[in-house]
Amino acid sequence: MWKRIALVPLLIVFAYLGISYGLLPRGWTWFEHRHPSLATVATRSVTRAGIPGDPLNIAFVGSEEDLHRALLAAGWSPADPVTMRSSLRIAEASVLRHPYEDAPVSGLYVWGRVQDFAFEQAAGNDPRQRHHVRFWRSPELDAAGRPLWIGAATFDTRVGLSRTTGQVTHHIAAQVDQERDKLVADLGREAGIALDWIGDFQAVRQGRNGGGDPFTTDGRLAVLTAGPAGPAGVPR
């Protein structure tokens, strides 16, 4: 009994050291040095008409070159711009079920502008199904001079009519976390990319995107950082 009582002060000392010199400094470092754009960025994209669109679920801290290099190395391809030619090509490919690895992606908006670029990965030979992600560049830089790229990763299941506008569109799978996690796994295989998570980023865990498709999420934002880094882009 006396031995147990004697251990109490020792446990208190260890707890104090762990919290004061480990947990709290790390927490304050993360809070103070996380990318500034994370404090003000929206959690949803919006359509051109201002309708809430796909949830934002992935972020990348680094240069555009870093992000493009990582996506290409992971087997993702840049989407073609939306033009009359690319629109006709995707229509033909959808009817004939020919592969179209660089099919265009419709525009969604964050920070008041359409995505800076989109990447995708084919899912078989049917262009109606594909993995894809849109990225928007933050207006702010972090202390190391790097932008934040906020992204919305979703999986297209088929082509149909929008439930909100009646326009032809791709419908997405409801489990958007699966597409986020796939992209995280693909990029995580590249050397020099660190991963951290921001919990409760999405306040709304279930909803519908701009096309009326339902989605569900655990609310977390994956933050990938190029180069040796700590939480949300903190250089070690």
- Three-state secondary-structure class, residue 29: helix
Which structure tokens are listed for 63?
Answer: 């240069």
For the stretch 87-127, pLDDT in tens is: 444 454 454 454 545 556 789 999 999 999 999 998 877 76
Among residues 63, 178, 53, which one has the least CA distance to residue 107?
Answer: 53
For the stretch 193-226, pLDDT in tens is: 999 999 999 998 999 988 889 999 999 999 999 9
Candidate from 41-45, 98-102, 119-123, 175-179 with smallest mean pLDDT = 98-102
Candidate from 8-12, 39-43, 86-90, 207-211 with smallest mean pLDDT = 86-90
For the stretch 126-174, pLDDT in tens is: 767 889 999 999 999 998 899 999 999 999 886 554 555 555 566 789 9
**Residue ranges covered by each domain of the chain:** 34-226
